[in-house]
């Protein structure tokens, strides 16, 4: 989106994230070079992009849910469920791929609808609603599946392996989804209403908006996008796994990426481009730390610090909207003012 | 007669403006009560195209209820509303807007993070081939604004970046975009500066020239006489009179509104009240929001702070109370240098602050009266909690809190009773200086009066009261001195008994320096 640095226009949150991403790319390039490796080798670029795609799908969906003022904690279990359901249905047969994919998407859509309905009609906050449905799915998985399940045929595994130059096919699918979601947010009524309901439900209601619709749409899309992530994981691993979603911490990592991308956790403000930049920042961090041989625990520490610092910066911008009248801003304030 | 310069978004041509003089709105016998308390009784209105009807009355007279009934927010218990000759009943505000009646409330229904155009067309975004036609939405909005004679406001601007006056214009543009035949405006100038008021006047003139009828609610009599053709006076939910504006003058209107002289509504200082030593002194005090403030508040005084919205009134109280700590100058409480860095420090130093928004910052709504009333004491003076607990029933009954029991949650109390709980919450800390920000906002006349009496009683006990209010009659009626703020500074100080005009002159800085 055209939120890049136009001269004289203050930087938006998305602008900050993009700057941060550019910065992390530069740092990544330098640090990788210090290790004697090429950050921009086609192998590394493809590794970076692969790292983006799984979390990318989930984070796009999470963006929608957060924009509308809700949360989706059920995504990891949807990912796992889709992975075993699709793998079981495929059972290694090429002819079963299409029915398996459709089944997976349909099941995910139903879970999303249920999440949305609980939030919209029962007035339960998304945090609790999706925690509940997530536990239900998780219990179902634990009862019915032990260890890996089913298998993906070669034709389906190709989705995970195909590359166009250094760009994996999965990244292209992700970008396609991102474009569609951006189009929805900017060019459809339901997209506009999603912002309205997340911004102020009462204002939306008084403007004649049926406030349940955007909530249902956001939750359904979130689950469906999580299902795409699940299918992609299946294509890469070739077998279904009932724990693949929870191992990835996709619920909290996707929320972190969304918030890192400048979307307000309270809803009503934010966009998908920021989210993708947030996911990319995580991918670059992981990549660089992997090259440098940083221990897994330390990697978590770094990720945690990045999240906290970024959100603290945004929070500072949000806390005080009444502009100061008399004092010259301090250095940090000046930078932040500039960034507004 | 000009017609509106745009078409409505659903594709039908804009409703033709009614011929001048035709009745566009007729309400008869409107009655409404809440919880057995009648707030509106048998009110009739008639409004012709191109006419401006002034609706005046004290707070609690029923103006808001009347507006909300017409706007479709409340349904009347009895009575009918006709728009353009057809009887209408609304169960939702959007129905009223579609019927041609839009309302610009004091609290705007805008999304701060969305653009002007997105707000104007919220819920009925124009579409082309299924997709929202953003360009057309922006173009139409720019045309709407241009049609209102508004310049310098663009459709693509984010509402958060706009001034209050500009946000109001967005609301008016939204109303016009519904092809409104009647627009209600609730205190539209309450937050505007002088030149912004003129812009509003010119917008209203353009609207009436198109045949739009306006219901104009204001307590500024000058505006009522400037703008209105007809004036309806409400008092205690009843219609006192409806007359052509030319048949009325200021004094007569005030008499009809108040029904008693102002001096008895605002109690005089109690006998035996003595103005004593300075309790709060500011010298050159400032932070990012206020600057160069000199102020002395003595024991037994009630001092009012007047000023336009955004003039730094609330910010001054917040600075004193350590919410936005002072960074310059000196502050003394009871003769000791104190510059509180936090509300906790301020409370320890003997300050109390009744905030502007009792629901957001004054009370924990889902907690009981007891817990709210003891909230501050428990947190700051734990050793005094026991005593405060024992004295609480007496304190509450002296405040005339009408509640069934102390374990009732405050969210179920009326605004007036909630405000009394806020006061109890602070009085239990035995403060020496009480800061009050809009202490009577949104509460009924009876509760107002008892809060005024409480302020006098506090003064008589040697407490100093510093009150911020947007209601000039209140500032003038209650203050021993009036401090007027403008642009974050003290613009002047006026003695008790100054007129509204004098206060406004200093507040706006328009003519002369009336500082005393």
Chain A contact set for B132 (CB, 8 A): 186-189, 191-192
Give the span between the Cα atoms of B415 and B446, in whole angstroms.
11
Tell me whether residues B487 and A325 touch, CB distance under 8 A.
yes
Locate the chain B residue with the closest alpha carbon to A207.
Answer: B123
The CATH architecture to which A13-319+327-339 belongs is Orthogonal Bundle (1.10)
Measure CA of the first residue to CA of the last residue in chain A; give whole Å.
17
With H, G, I as helix, E, B as strand and everything else as coil, classify residue B328: strand
pLDDT in tens, B273-294: 899 999 999 999 999 889 999 9
C-beta of residue B10 within 8 angstroms of C-beta of residue B127 = no
**Separation in Å, CA of A73 to nearest CA in chain B:** 26
Residue B8 lies in a domain: no
* Nearest CB to B94; choose among A200, A208, A268: A208
Q: Is B152 inside any structural domain? A: yes
Q: Residue B415 — pLDDT band, cuts 50, 70, 90?
A: confident
- Give the model's pLDDT for residue B310: 77
- Give the domain-ending residue among B206, B239, B259: B259
Residue B368 counted as domain residue:
yes
Do residues B280 and B416 share a domain?
no
Q: Write a three-state SS string for A68-99.
A: CCCCCCCHHHHHHHHHHHHHHHHCCCHHHHHH
List pLDDT tens digits, range B6-30. 433 333 333 444 455 789 999 999 9
Q: For residue B512, tell me if it sits in a domain.
A: yes
pLDDT higher than threshold 90 for residue B114: yes
Host domain of residue B232 = 23-259
**Chain B partners within 8 Å of A189 (Cβ):** 125, 127, 132
What is the C-alpha to C-alpha distance for residues A45 and A47, in angstroms, rounded to an integer?
5
B502 pLDDT band, cuts 50/70/90, is confident
Query: What is the CA angle B60-B66-B68, rounded to 5?
Result: 105
Tell me, what's the pLDDT at A192? 95
Confidence of residue A85 (pLDDT cuts 50, 70, 90): very high
CA distance A313 to chain B (A): 18
Spatial contact of A230 and A81, defined as CB atoms under 8 Å apart: yes
Q: How many other CB atoms are found less than 10 A from the CB of residue B496?
A: 15
Residues in chain B within 8 Å Cβ distance of A198: none
Query: Residue B228 has what pLDDT?
Result: 94
Per-residue pLDDT at B466 exceeds 50: yes
Reference B30, options B81, B82, B106, B92; nearest CA is B81
| A240 secondary structure, DSSP code | B
Q: Do B255 and B271 belong to one domain?
A: no
> Are B273 and B157 members of one domain?
no
For residues B129 and B250, membership in a common domain is answered with yes
* pLDDT confidence band for B38 (50 / 70 / 90): confident
Higher pLDDT, B15 or A51: A51
> Is B323 within 8 Å of chain A by CB?
no
Give the number of residues written for chain B.
Answer: 516
Chain A residues in contact with B68 by the CB 8 A cut-off are none
Residue B374 predicted with pLDDT over 80 = yes
A187:B110 CB<8 A: no
pLDDT at position B195 over 80: no
Confidence bin at B263 (pLDDT 50/70/90) = low
Per the model's pLDDT, the better-predicted residue between B226 and A216 turns out to be A216
Interface check for B391 against chain A (CB to CB < 8 A): the answer is: no
Q: Within this chain, do residues B206 and B336 fall inside the same structural domain, yes or no?
A: no
**Cα angle for residues A10, A12, A17 (degrees, 5° grid):** 130
Give the residue, B273 or A114, on which the prediction is more confident.
Answer: A114
Cross-chain residue pair B113–A186, CB shorter than 8 Å: no
More confident residue, B442 or B323: B323
If pLDDT is split at 50, 70 and 90, which confidence band does A10 have? Answer: low
Q: Which residue of A has its CA nearest to B174?
A: A207
Give burial (CB, 10 Å; 0-12/13-18/19+) of A315.
Answer: exposed
Residue-wise DSSP of B268-304: PPPTT----SEEEEEEEEE-SS--SEEEEEETT-EEE
Read off the pLDDT band of B39 (50, 70, 90): confident
Q: Are B342 and B325 in contact (CB under 8 A)?
A: yes
Instruction: Indicate the residue among B259, B285, B317 that finishes a domain.
Output: B259
Asked if B377 and B341 sit in the same domain, the reply is: no
- State percent of chain B over pLDDT 90: 55
**B476's tokens:** 């003038």
- The tens digit of pLDDT for each residue in B293-334 reads 999 999 999 999 998 877 889 999 999 999 999 999 999 999
**Do A208 and B92 make contact, defined as CB atoms within 8 angstroms?**
yes
Residues of B whose CB is below 8 A from A200: 111
pLDDT of residue B510: 66
Residue of B nearest to A67 (CA): B113
Nearest CA in chain B to A320: B324
Rounded CA-CA distance B401/B369 in Å is 10
- Residue that has been written with the tokens 């279990």 in this structure: A77
The rounded Cα B255 to chain-centroid distance in angstroms is: 22
Helix, strand or coil for residue A197?
helix
Per the CB < 8 Å rule, is A195 touching B113?
yes
Q: Give me the interface pTM, i.e. the ipTM.
A: 0.82
At residue B4 the predicted structure's pLDDT band, cuts being 50, 70 and 90, is very low
Tell whether the model's pLDDT for residue B443 goes beyond 80.
no
pLDDT digits (tens, 9 = 90+) for A210-249: 999 999 999 999 999 999 999 999 999 999 999 999 998 9
Q: Tell me, what CATH number does B339's domain have?
A: 3.40.50.300
Above 70 in pLDDT, residue A71?
Answer: yes
- The pLDDT of residue B513: 43
Cβ neighbours around A23 below 10 Å, total = 12
Which residues of B fall within a CB distance of 8 Å from A264? 113
Interface contact flag, B111 A326, Cβ < 8 Å? no
In a domain, B5, yes or no: no
With H, G, I as helix, E, B as strand and everything else as coil, classify residue B357: coil
Average pLDDT, chain B: 87
Structural domain contains residue B383: yes
Which residue in the set A196, A208, A326 is minimally distant from B111, CB to CB? A196
What's the distance, CA B512 to chain centroid?
Answer: 27
Nearest in space to A72 (alpha carbons), one of A175, A201, A220: A220
What's the distance, CA B261 to chain centroid? 23
Q: Is the pLDDT of residue B262 over 70?
A: no
**Cross-chain Cβ contact B132/A204 below 8 Å:** no
Average pLDDT over residues B203-209: 93
Confidence band of B214 (pLDDT split at 50, 70, 90): very high
Domain total in chain B: 3
Query: Which of B412, B481, B464 is CA-nearest to residue B301?
Result: B464
Gap between the Cα atoms of B41 and B78, Å rounded: 9
Which of B373, B402, B430 is the endpoint of a domain?
Answer: B430
- pLDDT digit string, tens, across residues B131-180: 999 999 999 999 999 988 888 889 999 998 888 888 889 999 998 898 89
B11 touches chain A (CB under 8 A): no
Render pLDDT for A302-337 as a digit per residue (tens, 0 to 9): 988 988 888 887 777 654 445 555 554 444 444 444
Chain A residue with CA closest to B312: the answer is A325
d(CA B461, CA B479): 16
Provide the shortest C-alpha distance from residue B345 to chain A (in Å).
21
Are residues B206 and B146 both part of a single domain? yes
Q: Do A325 and B118 touch (CB under 8 A)?
A: no
Confidence of residue A107 (pLDDT cuts 50, 70, 90): very high
Report the range of poorest mean pLDDT among A100-104, A119-123, A276-280, B263-267: B263-267
How far away is chain B from the Cα of A327, in angstroms, using its nearest Cα?
5
Per-residue three-class SS string for B16-83: CCCCCCCEEEEEEEEEEEECCEEEEEEEEEEEECCCEEEEECCCCCCHHHHHHHHCCCCCCCEEEEEE
Which residues 34-93 of B have a C-beta within 8 angstroms of A?
A: 92-93
Residue at B13 is within a domain: no
Residues B189 and B316 in one domain: no
Sequence-distant (≥ 6) Cβ neighbours of residue A106 within 8 angstroms = none
What's the confidence (pLDDT) of residue B516?
Answer: 37
CA distance A324 to chain B (A): 5
């Amino acid at each position: 989106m055209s939120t890049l640095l136009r001269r004289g226009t203050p930087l938006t949150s998305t602008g900050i994230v993009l700057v941060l991403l550019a910065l992390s790319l530069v740092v990544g390039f330098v640090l990788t070079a210090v290790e004697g490796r090429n950050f921009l080798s086609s192998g590394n670029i493809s590794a970076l992009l692969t790292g983006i795609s799984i979390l990318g799908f989930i984070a796009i969906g999470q963006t929608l849910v957060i924009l509308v003022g809700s949360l989706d904690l059920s995504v990891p279990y949807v990912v796992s469920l889709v992975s075993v359901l699709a793998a079981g249905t495929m059972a290694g047969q090429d002819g079963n791929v299409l029915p398996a994919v459709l089944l997976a998407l349909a099941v995910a859509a139903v879970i999303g609808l249920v999440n949305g309905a609980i939030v919209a009609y029962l007035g339960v906050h998304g945090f609790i609603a999706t925690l509940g449905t997530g536990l239900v799915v998780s219990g179902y998985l634990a009862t019915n599946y032990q260890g890996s399940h089913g298998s993906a045929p070669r034709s389906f595994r190709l989705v995970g392996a195909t590359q166009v130059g250094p760009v994996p096919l999965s990244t292209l699918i992700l970008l396609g989804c991102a474009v569609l979601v951006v189009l929805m947010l900017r060019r459809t009524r339901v997209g506009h209403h999603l912002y309205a309901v997340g911004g102020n439900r009462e204002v939306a209601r008084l403007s004649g908006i049926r406030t349940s619709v955007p909530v249902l749409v956001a939750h359904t899309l979130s689950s469906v996008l999580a299902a795409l992530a699940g299918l992609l994981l299946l294509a890469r691993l070739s077998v279904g796994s009932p724990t693949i979603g929870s191992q990835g911490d996709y619920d909290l990592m996707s929320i972190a990426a969304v918030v890192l991308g400048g979307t307000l956790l309270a809803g009503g403000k934010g966009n998908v481009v920021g989210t993708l930049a947030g996911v990319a920042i995580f991918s670059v961090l992981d990549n660089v730390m992997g090259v440098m041989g940083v221990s897994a625990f330390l990697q978590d520490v770094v990720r945690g610090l990045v999240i906290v610092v970024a959100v603290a910066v945004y929070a500072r911008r949000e806390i005080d909207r009444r502009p100061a009248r008399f004092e010259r801003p301090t250095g940090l304030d000046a930078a932040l003012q500039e960034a507004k | 007669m000009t017609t509106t310069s745009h078409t409505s978004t659903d594709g039908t041509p804009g409703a033709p403006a009614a011929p001048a003089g035709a009745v566009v709105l007729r309400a008869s016998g409107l009655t409404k009560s809440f919880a057995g308390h009648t707030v509106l009784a048998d009110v009739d209105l008639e409004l012709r195209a191109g006419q401006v009807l002034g609706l005046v009355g004290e707070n609690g007279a029923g103006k808001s209820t009347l507006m909300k009934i017409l706007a479709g927010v409340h349904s009347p218990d009895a009575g009918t509303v006709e728009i353009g000759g057809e009887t209408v009943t609304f169960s939702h505000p959007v129905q009223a807007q579609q019927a041609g009646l839009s309302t610009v409330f004091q609290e705007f229904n805008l999304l701060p993070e969305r653009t002007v155009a997105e707000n104007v067309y919220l819920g009925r975004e124009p579409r082309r081939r299924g997709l929202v036609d953003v360009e057309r939405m922006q173009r139409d909005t720019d045309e709407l604004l241009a049609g209102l004679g508004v310049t310098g406001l663009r459709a693509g601007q984010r509402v958060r970046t706009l001034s209050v006056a500009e946000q109001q214009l967005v609301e008016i543009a939204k109303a016009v975009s519904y092809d409104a035949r009647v627009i209600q405006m609730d205190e539209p100038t309450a937050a505007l500066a002088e030149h912004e008021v003129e812009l509003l006047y010119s917008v209203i003139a353009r609207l009436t020239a198109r045949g739009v009828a306006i219901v104009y609610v204001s307590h500024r009599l000058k505006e009522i006489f400037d703008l209105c053709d007809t004036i309806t006076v409400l008092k205690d939910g009843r219609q006192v009179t409806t007359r052509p504006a030319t048949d009325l003058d200021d004094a007569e209107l005030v008499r009809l509104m108040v029904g008693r002289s102002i001096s008895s509504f605002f109690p005089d200082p109690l006998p035996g009240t003595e103005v004593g030593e300075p309790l709060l002194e500011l010298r050159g005090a400032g932070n990012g929001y206020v600057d160069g403030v000199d102020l002395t508040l003595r024991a037994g005084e009630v001092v009012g702070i007047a000023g336009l919205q955004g003039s730094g009134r609330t910010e001054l109280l917040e600075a004193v109370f350590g919410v936005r700590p002072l960074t310059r100058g000196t502050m003394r409480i009871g003769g000791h240098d104190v510059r509180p860095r936090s509300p906790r420090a301020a409370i320890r130093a003997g300050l109390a602050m009744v905030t502007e928004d009792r629901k957001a910052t004054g009370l924990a709504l889902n907690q009981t009266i007891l817990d709210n009333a003891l909230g501050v004491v428990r947190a700051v003076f734990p050793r005094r909690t026991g005593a405060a607990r024992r004295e609480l029933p007496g304190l509450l009954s002296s405040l005339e809190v009408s509640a069934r029991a102390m374990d009732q949650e405050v969210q179920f109390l009326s605004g007036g009773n909630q405000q009394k709980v806020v006061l109890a919450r602070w009085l239990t800390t035995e403060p020496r200086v009480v800061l009050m920000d809009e202490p009577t906002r949104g509460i009924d006349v009876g509760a107002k009066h008892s809060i005024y009496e409480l302020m006098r009683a506090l003064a008589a006990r040697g407490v100093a009261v510093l009150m911020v209010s947007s209601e000039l009659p209140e500032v003038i009626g209650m203050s021993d001195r009036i401090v007027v703020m403008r642009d974050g500074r003290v613009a002047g100080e006026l003695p008790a008994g100054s007129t509204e005009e004098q206060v406004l002159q200093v507040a706006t800085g328009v003519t002369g320096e009336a500082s005393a």
